Amino acid sequence: MNREAALLEQLAERPDDRALRLVFSDWLQEQGDERGEVIALWARGNLSLTERRRVARLTTTHGGEWLGPLAALADLHRTRFVGGFVDELVCAPSRPSELFAALNGDVRLATVKSFVVPPTQAPARLGAFLSSPVLRHLQKLELGSSDWQDLFLTPPLATTLAPPRVVVGSWGVFHKELAPLSSVKLFQQASSLALSTTEFINPLVVAEIHESVLSQSNALQGFEELMLAARYVVFEGAADWLLACDLDRRATGTVFPRLLRWGVESGEVAFVRTREPGGAFDHLTIDLSAPESGEKRAVSTTPAAEVRIANAAAVLVQLREAKLTSVTVKLPEGGRLRTHERGTLMAAARRSGSLEHFSIIGESAVLP
């Protein structure tokens, strides 16, 4: 076994081991491989904007090479790296089953925390691949199919795959995609369910999805978190979904007895309402630290960031009926807000009339 293969085997056992990553980084830099620089920079942390841009450029340029054989499986435009290692592996549509068989147990899968399977992939052929113990660090599994009752994981290895979050994808509003979940052990082991739709999240779509969720509620009894996910979210639609757990009291009572978190997320922002067991959904977290190409935005003063903050404030205003008592805004590490941006968010939060606590996490300074 050559040096690279040996290091990858060790990383497969301890993928988050910082010291081991740095050993791999040193070896790569000795070979003149710029991936080693990316790994070392990320392990050090506190990157400057120039360093972040370099990491992003090198990742975009060489990501396909870093995947090795996995590149044949991946949608390179959507697969995401963090610190030189693949973090979210998005499969390209209609990959042949022989390819999954050939890559079963590949050590490069050990750092994958999110695995996305397109709707066109027949689940019955993925059992052995998903059963591999190399995927034991998986945190999110997105399955875009209504036929997951045909997914058979190979025992006893299947017990190693228990991601806390599973995602079900749909081209529409989940007319039949959810009911099979009650018969798939993989879903029964998870505590968080995200519904990923290609639709814009607007009020009309939200109403249809909410009704669909309630009609298939028997499959969702064990989940503690229910998230609605889309690439694009209209703020009126986001607000309507966040209010849905109040509009129909069944959603917080007998239908979903264990539900503690109800939210909506896009590629730019996530809103999550939470409650204590037996209580009301009176706390809201606004997460503005969404990753972009494997990076966290370090500064929130760009025009795009200002739009996100304005949309977040608009959602807060729409939630005045929720009577929130606590609001938390989460920024990227080292993020900064301008005084008027901070004031806008605080003023919008206070519109509920019940606010007792407002905080911003990750803020390094308030700009003038």
In 224-290, which ranges are E strands? 225-229, 261-265, 270-274, 283-287
Give long-range contacts, CB 8 A cutoff, 24+ apart: 31-34: 34/58, 34/62
- Average pLDDT over the chain, rounded to whole? 83
Q: Using alpha carbons, list the distances in angstroms from residue 260 to 169, 273, 279, 317, 359.
A: 22, 8, 9, 23, 21
Residue 366 reports pLDDT greater than 60: no
pLDDT digit string, tens, across residues 168-183: 877 677 877 787 777 7
**How would you label 226-262 residue by residue, b for 16+ Cβ within 10 Å and e otherwise?**
bbbbbeebbbebbbbbbbbbbeeeebbeebbeebbbb
- Angstrom distance (rounded) from CA 283 to CA 79: 33
pLDDT digit string, tens, across residues 267-316: 778 999 999 888 889 999 999 876 443 433 333 445 466 778 888 999 99
- Angstrom distance (rounded) from CA 36 to CA 127: 34
pLDDT digit string, tens, across residues 58-115: 999 999 999 999 999 999 998 999 999 999 999 998 888 889 989 999 999 999 988 8
- Angstrom distance (rounded) from CA 133 to CA 9: 13
In the chain, which ranges are E strands? 80-82, 85-90, 114-117, 140-143, 165-170, 192-197, 225-229, 261-265, 270-274, 283-287, 291-292, 295-296, 326-338, 357-367
- Angstrom distance (rounded) from CA 261 to CA 230: 17
Rounded to 5 degrees, φ, ψ at 332 are: -60, 155
Read off the pTM. 0.74
Query: Is 316 or 362 the better-scoring residue by pLDDT?
Result: 316
